[in-house]
Amino acid sequence: MTEPRNALVTGGNRGLGRSTARALAHRGIKVALTYRSGASGAAETVRMIEEEGGEAFALRLDIGDAGSFRGFAAELTGELLDRWGHDRLDVLVNNAGTGLFDALEEVTPERFDEQVGVNFRGTFFLIQALVPHLADGGRIVNVSTSLTRHVSPGTSVYAASKAAVEALTRSLAGELGPRGIRVNAVAPGPSATDFNGGAMRDDPELRDFLAAHTALGRVGSPEEIGDAIAALVSPGMRWVTAQRLEVSGGALL
């Protein structure tokens, strides 16, 4: 199995998505990335990759709008063919998601549906739309969370939506295995990103608390998550599928 030629990273306009896109590009992989409303951030990610010697482009995609996925698949494969001469996708990283954190009594049906609709339903139907265009021997990485293992107040719906993604990962690994497609989940732990309003990045007390309860004594960086995803899709991990890889520095053991 050779190094993949190209990858799609959803939500590549900031945070973990940007770090993943850059980490893949550092390995010589050409990257398509998506954004929903952060067009300027997506353009910044593309600029960073190109300045670092890579190739990338960005397309708009709303993960909450499953009805748009077939059209997006046609747009993506057309761009791949026009830009890079082949219309098969080698790597799909399902990173885009949403986190709405409410106590049990504060959860509304609308906020519940938004989280499940984006994090689980969106991931499921995007995979469904893109699998016909995924090369045999391709790789799918679904981004989960360490919160499927440990608990934190107000995260019940978010964690449950990501637990569903982990179950989907295992099921699809079996279903797509005959095509040589590997399907894994990466579960980031506490990381200093702009997720949840940048709480982990901007709140020193929160960072200090979590660092004190992490085996490696600190919170993670988005670059460390991106590097783990890039390593997971590499040929050296060719015998790894249906797995949940937690990248948390040993948080809350």
Q: Catalytic site residues?
A: 158
**3-state secondary structure at position 148:** helix
Q: E strand or H helix at 13, and its extent?
A: none
CA distance 105 to 102: 8
Phi, then psi, of 225 in degrees rounded to 5: -70, -45
CA distance 244 to 16: 17
Asked if 183 contacts 245 with a C-beta cutoff of 8 angstroms, the reply is no
What are 134's strand-pairing partners? 89
From the list 41, 58, 46, 5, the residue with the least C-alpha distance to 22 is: 46
Tell me, letter by letter, the H, E, C secondary structure of 206-252. HHHHHHHCECCCCCECHHHHHHHHHHHCCHHHCCCCCCEEEECCCEC
First-to-last alpha carbon distance for the chain, in angstroms, is 35
CA distance 200 to 235: 33
CA distance 55 to 34: 14
DSSP letter at 155 equals -
CA distance 77 to 79: 5
